[in-house]
Chain A
Amino acid sequence: MRPVLLATDVLIFVLIAAVIGAGFYVRRQEYLLASWRRVGESRAGMAALTVLMAFLAVGLLDSLHYRPRLQGTNGESGIGYATEVRSVLDAVLMPLRNRAEKTYSAPLATHLYAKETVEMPDGKQARVFPRLRHGGAHLQDPEAQWGVDVAWKTARGVVLAAAAWVVLAALAARLAARHWRVGWGAAWRRLWRGETRFAWNAVLATAGALLLLAGPTASLAVDYHVLGTDKVGQDVLYLTLKSIRTALVIGTITTLAMLPFAVVLGIVAGYVGGWVDDAIQYIYTTLNSIPAVLLIAAAVLMMQVVIDTHPEWFATAAERADARLLALCLILGVTSWTGLCRLLRAETLKLRELEYVQAAQAFGVSSLRIMARHILPNVMHIVLIALVMDFSGLVLAEAVLSYVGIGVDPTTISFGTMINTARMELAREPIVWWPLAAAFVFMFVLVLAANLFSDAVRDGFDPRTHLRPRRGRVPGVVA
């Protein structure tokens, strides 16, 4: 196989590297560490972070792309590679990906959801629900065996999940015991009762819940379509897992793309003032005054024309779809940087008048250095809060934009395209609810986790929230 680096893959890995780098930086800065500790105390925030990490793991697996080697020789060149780009996630989920049915089938079903005319063994024709090609194909007599088989496989999944969780918990207890120099039992009690500053018990409980969901799902997915199949017989579980990467890319790379503009222009406008300030304010007022959907629509339509008229730029269909995804991120970034830019300008205007900045000016420190060394670190909390708060909004926006027809490429699997293809299915008789329900649940959990985590980050970093006496103990959701 030959590795393929899509543009969004590169940006995702750059982002991960930046986060790790920032982690090392924070470790050395006591005041930042204090804020992060406050974030770590939030049980809801840490539970949400655990869920986000699970989503992130799926998204990262889906970001390692390659082109599989073709079997047999391919003419003169020797080795040939398929034009289809796969990811490691595809390889892991290969059974799900390849076991397509003919059309709709309900979750865990053994028969198709639509009747078909089939030839009976005695030569007559009959309208029946035919057996699925893959779902429950190992059962000799589905009516009798199905219940026992599903129950047994669910139980197997639960046992495996419980075992995995016990191993995880033991590992945590072992590490904690070593750290505090106490026995395993004592360490575990401290962790579980929440006697630690970091909300370890929330993390462990959430990890347990996730394992409990993932275990039976994986165990059943070997033989069944756990979330059913869609109109063309694709496994819905596979589609939802593939949608996660698209959502993560839109939610993170958009912010990454707009961050340099917002930070540099915001700080420069606030610090330098004068005509520079006027010019920057003019730019963002102009961009802001165009309704966002229309600006995105205009830009995406134009981008589509560019992509369509230059097919020679892209070697594979995946690269083309990826170019459109990246373009969408950049466009969303261009339309959404103005809010952060305005906030940073206002904050810089305030900071500019403070004593330490004036002292630096009196010492003859250059403006560039003052902005980089004295202003930027003191507005970083605003940047961070904006970053985490934008994420959920962007994930939701992707679905709406894909519905309007200006979102991701129709061949890219995303929550938006899933909803778009499935939205008429509730009007069917009998109704097909599982593709919509699956997209709804996964999207809801992702966005809810992102919202809870961003609340925790805001509470930890916003100076106003922790100077104010906290009323009651309302974890995480103090607004």
Chain B
Amino acid sequence: MIAYILRRLLYAVPILIGVNLLTFTLFFVVNTPDDMARMQLGIKRVTPEAIEKWKAERGYDKPLLYNEQAVGAAKLTDTIFFEKSVKLFVFDFGRADDGRDIAHEIRTRMGPSLAIAVPVFVLGLFVTVSFALMLVFFRATYLDFWGVVGCVAMMSVSSLFYIIGGQYLVSKVWHLVPISGYAEGPDALKFLLLPVVIGVIAGVGSSTRWYRTIFLEEINRDYVRTARAKGLSEIRVLFRHVLKNAMIPILTGVVVVIPLLFMGSLLTESFFGVPGLGSYTIDAINAQDFAVVRAMVFIGSVLYIVGLLLTDISYTLVDPRVRLQ
């Protein structure tokens, strides 16, 4: 098991190198740092000196891959590639283009992101799995039919409308919670309530339908018939037998997103003014702050790979037949 995990972590290295090469190509080869400086300083009427100054302040004035002027190992290390891409591997994110320390920003913004993402994830999973099991319990009835119709309708609504509509109804018409904002400590509850509820509702349609399909695949298996023949109640069959056996496909879809919860939700955080990583990313995109985008790409890939590993490990927990070696 340990050996397996170590090997998987080693496999992650070439993938992360690939991610870095890709972002490096996108950010520095497709467009030169000169282009970026011109974008930041305004396309027209920008002097070469201003561009040089902008580049020097941010360390973009070095050669891309190989520095001929340097001596020894610095020929390779005193370059944009080493400074901006290789250092990501030790989680040294450097400074954003506006000069702030990215690592510090990430640490402070992680809390608010998790405060929304974790409840949405847990509640959403609970609600959708229960709802799907209920539909399966009432399968081939009108309740099931209209439930599925409702799911299809709900997944046809853009998540933007859930947020806009929810804010309008709950905050503006009913005045139940503030429209947006964030506070530390117990005060956070009133700010978090609406985003969490909307986040859960927005995901109900597609997830419920997906789980319902998984459960329906299981419901005709022989072990289910045996369980019924033993005289178990339908509820017991669904919750004890079907749910357990459907765990593998559910885990495949669910566990991989757990680490990514750190990244927060772009839309929710930006609409509700929550100072999390999602709104940080959106602000960086709007300000064209490539240093932050690069850092977030790298963190995202690391978390995704961790998620894949966790998925494999979780299989061994629910299915004794799975052995990792």
Contact = CB atoms under 8 A, between A and B. Distances in A.
Interface in A283-323: 283, 285-291, 293-295, 297-299, 301-302, 305-306, 308-309
A452 interface: yes
Interface stretch (B35-43, B58-66, B123-131): B35-43
28 contacts: A283-B18, A285-B15, A289-B304, A290-B22, A290-B300, A297-B285, A297-B293, A298-B294, A301-B285, A305-B35, A308-B43, A309-B38, A400-B160, A404-B266, A404-B270, A404-B282, A405-B282, A419-B160, A423-B164, A426-B164, A436-B161, A440-B157, A440-B158, A448-B152, A448-B153, A451-B155, A472-B145, A477-B145
Closest 9 CB pairs of A and B: A286-B18, A291-B300, A448-B156, A447-B156, A289-B301, A472-B140, A289-B304, A471-B140, A426-B168
Interface of B: 14-15, 18-19, 22-23, 26-27, 30-31, 35-36, 38-39, 43, 139-140, 144-145, 148-149, 152-153, 155-161, 164, 167-168, 172, 179, 209, 212-213, 216, 220, 260, 263, 266-267, 270, 281-282, 285-286, 288, 290, 293-294, 296-297, 300-301, 304-305
Nearest to B298: A290
A117 B317 CA distance: 73
B2 to A, nearest CB: 23
Interface string A158-201: 00000000000000000000000000000000000000000000
B267 A400 contact: yes
A62 interface: no
A323 B139 CA distance: 49
B15 A444 contact: no
Nearest to A433: B168
A474 B19 contact: no
A290 B267 contact: no
Contact of A440 (B161, B282, B301): B161
Contact of A444 (B139, B157, B285): B157
Contacts of A204: none
Interface string A340-354: 000000000000000
Given A309-B35, A404-B285, A289 B156 contact: no
Given A396-B158, A426-B164, A305 B39 contact: yes
B31 A302 contact: yes
A436 B296 contact: no
A232 interface: no
B260 A291 contact: yes
Interface of B, secondary structure class, is helix
A447 B168 CA distance: 23
Interface of A, secondary structure class, is helix
Nearest to A472: B140
Nearest to B135: A479
A230 interface: no
Contact of B158 (A404, A443, A468): A443
Nearest to A427: B172
B39 A396 contact: no
Contacts of A289: 15, 19, 300-301, 304-305
A392 interface: yes
Most buried by B among A287, A290, A415, A440: A290
A477 B35 contact: no
Given A399-B158, A406-B285, A474-B145, A298 B293 contact: yes
Contacts of A101: none
A304 to B, nearest CB: 8
B26 A288 contact: no
A471 B213 CA distance: 13
Contacts of B153: 448
A436 B164 contact: yes
A311 to B, nearest CB: 9
Contacts of B288: 301
A455 interface: yes
Contacts of A423: 160, 164
A294 B293 contact: yes
A309 to B, nearest CB: 6
Nearest to B209: A479
A288 B220 CA distance: 34
A66 interface: no
B26 A294 contact: no
B36 to A, nearest CB: 7
A291 B152 contact: no
B19 A290 contact: yes
